[in-house]
Amino acid sequence: MKFTVDPGAIEQESMAIIEKNVPSLALLPAREQSIVKRIIHTTGDFNIAPLVKIHPQAVERGLAAIHRGCTIFTDVNMVLAGLNNKKLTEFGVQAICRIADPSVAAEATRTGQTRAMVTMRQAGALQGDIVVIGNAPTALFTLCAMIEQGEADPALVIGTPVGFVGASESKELLVSLNKVPYITVQGTRGGSTIAASIVNALLYM
């Protein structure tokens, strides 16, 4: 069996297949197309395209934050592991995940919160930064509360927590706030790989 081994050719062919099978992508602005194609490429699922919801200012605000050398806060290390380190370094962007910090674990035990909730609270005002939540609905619920209460003002929230308990609801809450630009995937689908793919799509721009 013959198969393609050139990474560039594989990606180019993959994107062509995506465009052929999801013609509705042509209706989106070019940069939003890039994000949705990355998500489809990551999941291998054409049907996820209509579930992707992108705030009108999301791309602009995200790119501006990256060019400023913002900090990217992630809820879990799996998101962190999926980010393109070469691009992060190129733009002077620091990516952080504190889920495994002993102080986070201690605070979670003391308060009865999840560690993901504690990491959001400990992140501070997040002024002009990008928050990427790919796993924990409790992190997104907490961040939404911080935004609503004026305690946090990130440049962009990428919220794609996955699962059957709270994931869909947390993303609905993010969209309903309409106080910060967001990129999300509606419903129960999501995950760390999708969250990382969205960040990388922005970095590649």
- Per DSSP, helices labelled H in the chain are 7-21, 30-43, 58-67, 77-81, 85-90, 102-111, 115-122, 137-148, 167-177, 192-204
Question: What are the C-alpha distances in Å from 123 to residues 1, 22, 143, 146?
Answer: 51, 38, 10, 11
d(CA 126, CA 73): 9
Question: Which are the catalytic amino acids?
Answer: 41
Question: What are the C-alpha distances in Å from 153 to residues 60, 125, 127?
Answer: 16, 6, 5
Instruction: Using alpha carbons, select from 176, 85, 173 the residue that is nearest to residue 137.
Output: 173
